[in-house]
Structure 1
Amino acid sequence: MAPRVIPVDPFDLVIFGGTGDLAQRKILPALYRRFCGGHFPEEVRIIGAARADISTEDYRQMVAEGVKATLNEHGPGAAGIPEFLRRVTYVSLDAREDRGWEPLAAQLAEVEPRPIRVFYFSVGPGLFGPLAERLHRHGLSDEDSRIVVEKPFGHDLQSAKALNATLAAHFTENQIYRIDHYLGKETVQNLMAIRFGNMLFEPLWNSQYVDHIQITVAETVGVAGREEYYDRAGAMRDMMQNHLMQLLCLIAMEPPAKFDPDAVRDEKVKVIRALDPVEPYHIVRGQYNAAAGGKGPDLTYRETVGNPRSSTESYIALKTHISNWRWAGTPFYLRTGKRLVARSSVINVLFKDAPHSIFGEEAGRHANHLKIRLQPNEGITLSVTIKEPGPGGMRLVDVPLDMSFATALGADGKNPPDAYERLITDMIRGNQTLFMRGDEVAAAWAWTDPIIAGWQARGDVPKPYDMGSTGPGDADLLMRRDGREWRGINP
């Protein structure tokens, strides 16, 4: 049965940086899919704003090409594009000057009563302050307006605090939506449903029963197209501090009293603040090199960024603990990297062995294993122990109970909403559950900064690893020292 469609209230959405890559590849296609899904009322207006001196018709053509490039066989076709474009206009303006702001104000003033106004800052963090100040100066925002800001939310704790203060000078916390697209993924949201909607798991979700938890986000792509930013950021700032931190929070947090934005985010902040510092010998950094055997034409990391002496990591793995009653003594292993053997985002929850085996040593060791696949082939696998069929005694074997979302949910599972579709709809409805709060961002940087400062002080350099591998060998040693092994990157 198709889900019931509940349209949002009328709104104006202004996309600063509307001609940019993010707007064309993600934001506008997501808006088109929600428009085709019946979520938008007739009164919706979408205004692209950027420095380019082009007409609305030129912009509409650009939007149409961007939307068409994202269409696939499972989603809406191109038939709705002309109707969608009727709601799209364009204003040429400069974020640092007053050029173009009066025409934008005139467009927004054309509609009364004033609808919800959402201002999407699809620009670099350096423009957040000037945009917020000019929105305030020209009277374009009120207490019902919302601003959306993309990561990176600072480069360290000091810059994150400064950025929060800049935004807070013109907007309250409940108006600021810090977007991390990972939180919009259906399977990421399912982490909460799995944990708090199933009595089967929650009583076992603690250090008494869980041996350890692994979180892996592996990518096959390199850093081409992001060279300048990435060589300043690295995997720790680009992925670990935000995406993997969010997954860790959702998998480890206490049950909130209710599914309420602040209740959920309160529990996430508690997890971050309970994280132990990471010991130097519990960190492995890597940088991708040539493919094994010198095969393949791809550039190495240093060749890609044009810096033959770069010490920036394209891979990081670490071990940490959460010092609270639920998780004391349970290690969490996190890793992420580029140019690895396969694209895979997965959370592995490894349960402890049974306290006593009645089947004898010959039955071997068997422990339950919950695997939550975030991408690709989204789904859940629970490994359980059964008797191997046939005569000859009680021989045990582990078998998977496998649930693929695409199989179990039919058409809805094969074509889940894009992360930006969910997040944009939530921001219009005023639901901040899946958006990061200012104190959450600051807490994440407070944990991250000493780790980075530590390896810089020691002069550590990343370990080389082959493209198309699972990462540097030292990451495997990190696990083997504890008698464990990584799971989750499958070619």
Structure 2
Amino acid sequence: MTPRTSAYATNPLRHPEDRRLPRIAGPSGMVLFGVTGDLSRKKIMPAIYDLANRGLLPPGFSLVGFARREWADQDFAQIVHEAVKEHSRTEFREEVWRQLSEGFRFVPGDFSDDLAFDRLRRTIEELDVTRGTGGNHAFYLSIPPRFFGDVVQQLQEHGLAEERPGTWRRVVVEKPFGHDLESARELNASIGEVFPSGSVFRIDHYLGKETVQNILAMRFANSMFEPIWNANYVDHVQITMAEDIGIGGRAGYYDGIGAARDVIQNHLLQLMALIAMEEPTDFDADALRIEKQKVLAAITLPKRLDRTTARGQYAAGWSGGVKVAGFHDEEGIPASSTTETYAAITLGIDNRRWAGVPFYLRHGKRLGRRVTEVAVVFKRAPHLPFHASATEELTQNALVVRVQPDEGLTLRFGSKVPGTSMEIRDVTMDFAYGGTFTEASPEAYERLILDVLLGDPPLFPRHEEVEQSWRILDPVLEHWARQDEKGKHKPEPYAAGTWGPSSAEAMLARDGRTWRRP
């Protein structure tokens, strides 16, 4: 009689380590500092509900809110209810909400209030007993970075950061991770005194986006790209994050921060690292981090920053058919502000794969449309055996990764136009997530919060990556600050609804290139 074969041996889809199977968090809870902020209301709370709705949270999951409000538990539950109804991705189901809301608690107090942290400790202990959270808690600091050190010290002093055998404690921090290299090191040191590096999760929500993760799949699951993914074939790379909105009500945060600190230092440099990194040995956190750090360490700045960087401020104009105010007319922005709302920089990578290939990074507000994309632009064919007039409308081949919106990939190449003459024109092959997969992509915060609860850190930048990013950006910021002190070359105005200042166009024109119009 033939021995009965294990189901795992005959069906690899059922292997217990198969990453395609849903990963469900074990007994755990989360403490949310900053529950009254926009991020909590629009992203974090809805993501927690969506995870519960998808069956990815344990039945006893708890959520504790901490803020300076005289709320009872039911008041906090109502706040979460409103946020979920307005912003959740999945449908609202009463039975899911009822089970989830039973684990809601609220602790009033501020970050210097010892009594409040004592109440928080007792609340967590009560949840361990009544909800079965098992001593496993994540502390989400959705608060300004200047308070990170205060909160983690309070957590330590009240025994909240202590991991007992068989339990875990983790801390989640939002960007910005400092405002320069020195402050980033100080911030990392203050958090590192309380939580070990493996328990610190720095949220960069762009790394949780499905299309960003697809960069790794596109590069390393397909043999067609690797042979041409180098300086022999790639002419340059453009990484763009464009927003059609202004600063809104964020003047207090944005003035003094600016486009480069807000987006280039984190989102765009992380995208650059994923595009340029070597193949990791596998996709666990350590292997990915090693390869990203190698790229970041090899990034170089040109010598002439006055010719290879650009910055601007949006002026009044038309956006989406509506007349909008300029940056200096926004409430809370002084007329003397030199904070940039548009930033573009040129970077190189000093290694064998990318030597000589410029990477152009840009971010701006009040631009022509909302779009984030990575465009890998290839060199022209060394010889075109066609009459010059046949290829007048032929540009360079390009592979474009669309991060948002309309997530997908586009490949641009030349094709013959139907007819008797030999005329070649650009065409595109397009892959869109929405048109290929029936399941909607989860929000980035769903993936990242679940990874925190699972203790799975591949999508979270470590402190070494943060410090490398500031090493790259600090000389640019210092160069701009010196220009401001001399009273020359201040941020150039650009009309709202356009694609940025003329200095950014000139930056690429000096290299014989132009920006893409997404």
What is the TM-score when the length of structure 2 is the normalising length?
0.89
Q: Give the AA of the match of 1:477.
A: A
Deviation at 1:290, TM superposition (A): 1.1
CA contact (8 A) 2:328 2:337 kept: yes
Deviation at 1:161, TM superposition (A): 0.6
CA-to-partner distance for each residue in 1:462-483, whole Å, 9 max, x for gaps? 0100001111122112222222
Structure 1 window deviating more from structure 2 (101-110 vs 360-369): it is: 360-369
CA contact (8 A) 1:381 1:400 kept: yes
Match of 2:502 among 462, 470, 473: 473
SS in 2 for 1:225: coil
Structure 1 residues 106-255: aligned runs within 5 Å? 106-110=122-126, 111=128, 114-143=134-163, 144-255=168-279
Match of 2:352 among 316, 325, 347: 325
Q: Distance in 1 between matches of 2:207 and 2:449?
A: 12
Q: Distance in 1 between matches of 2:253 and 2:125?
A: 38
Q: Distance in 2 between matches of 1:233 and 1:155?
A: 8
Match of 1:53 among 49, 70, 74: 70
Question: In the alignment, which residue of structure 2 is the partner of 1:340?
Answer: 367
Q: Give the AA of the match of 2:52.
A: F
Structure 1 residues 68-467: aligned runs within 5 Å? 68-71=85-88, 75-79=90-94, 80-110=96-126, 111=128, 114-143=134-163, 144-278=168-302, 279-291=305-317, 297-304=323-330, 305-364=332-391, 367-392=396-421, 394-410=422-438, 412=439, 415-459=440-484, 460-467=489-496
Structure 2 gap segments, 5+ residues each? 1-12, 14-19
CA contact (8 A) 1:344 1:488 kept: no
Q: Distance in 1 between matches of 2:21 and 2:194?
A: 37
SS in 1 for 2:115: coil
SS in 2 for 1:8: coil
Q: Give the AA of the match of 1:107.
A: T
CA contact (8 A) 2:170 2:199 kept: yes
SS in 2 for 1:232: coil
SS in 2 for 1:220: coil
Q: Distance in 2 between matches of 1:190 and 1:8?
A: 23
Q: Cα gap change, 1:78/1:467 in structure 2, threshold over 3 Å: closer, same or farther? A: farther
Q: Give the AA of the match of 2:117.
A: W
CA contact (8 A) 2:301 2:346 kept: no
Structure 1 window deviating more from structure 2 (445-454 vs 98-107): it is: 98-107
Structure 1 gap segments, 5+ residues each? none
Question: Size of the alignment, in residue pairs?
Answer: 481
CA-to-partner distance for each residue in 1:230-251, whole Å, 9 max, x for gaps? 1110111111111111111111
CA contact (8 A) 1:348 1:488 kept: no
CA contact (8 A) 1:346 1:488 kept: no
CA contact (8 A) 1:68 1:78 kept: no
Deviation at 1:376, TM superposition (A): 0.9
CA contact (8 A) 2:62 2:100 kept: no
Deviation at 1:116, TM superposition (A): 2.0
Percent identity between the aligned chains?
42
Deviation at 1:8, TM superposition (A): 1.2
CA-to-partner distance for each residue in 1:399-442, whole Å, 9 max, x for gaps? 111111100112x1xx3111100000011111111111111111
Deviation at 1:398, TM superposition (A): 2.3
Deviation at 1:367, TM superposition (A): 3.4
CA contact (8 A) 1:218 1:344 kept: yes
Question: In the alignment, which residue of structure 2 is the partner of 1:16?
Answer: 33
RMSD: 1.9
Deviation at 1:115, TM superposition (A): 3.7
Q: Distance in 1 between matches of 2:227 and 2:434?
A: 28
Q: Cα gap change, 1:306/1:396 in structure 2, threshold over 3 Å: closer, same or farther? A: closer
Q: Cα gap change, 1:385/1:306 in structure 2, threshold over 3 Å: closer, same or farther? A: closer
CA-to-partner distance for each residue in 1:62-118, whole Å, 9 max, x for gaps? 11011111146xx22253333321221111132212022222212222325734211
CA contact (8 A) 1:117 1:141 kept: no
CA contact (8 A) 2:41 2:83 kept: yes
Q: Cα gap change, 1:366/1:465 in structure 2, threshold over 3 Å: closer, same or farther? A: closer
Deviation at 1:375, TM superposition (A): 0.9
Q: Distance in 1 between matches of 2:473 and 2:234?
A: 25
Q: Distance in 2 between matches of 1:488 and 1:252?
A: 23
Q: Give the AA of the match of 1:201.
A: F
Q: Distance in 1 between matches of 2:101 and 2:202?
A: 27
SS in 2 for 1:309: coil
Deviation at 1:226, TM superposition (A): 1.0
Q: Distance in 2 between matches of 1:17 and 1:219?
A: 25
CA contact (8 A) 1:177 1:432 kept: yes
Q: Distance in 2 between matches of 1:296 and 1:427?
A: 41
Q: Cα gap change, 1:488/1:34 in structure 2, threshold over 3 Å: closer, same or farther? A: farther
SS in 2 for 1:346: strand
Q: Distance in 1 between matches of 2:315 and 2:425?
A: 39
CA contact (8 A) 1:19 1:48 kept: no
CA-to-partner distance for each residue in 1:285-317, whole Å, 9 max, x for gaps? 110001169x95422101114311111110011
SS in 1 for 2:324: coil
Q: Distance in 2 between matches of 1:234 and 1:366?
A: 34
SS in 2 for 1:100: helix
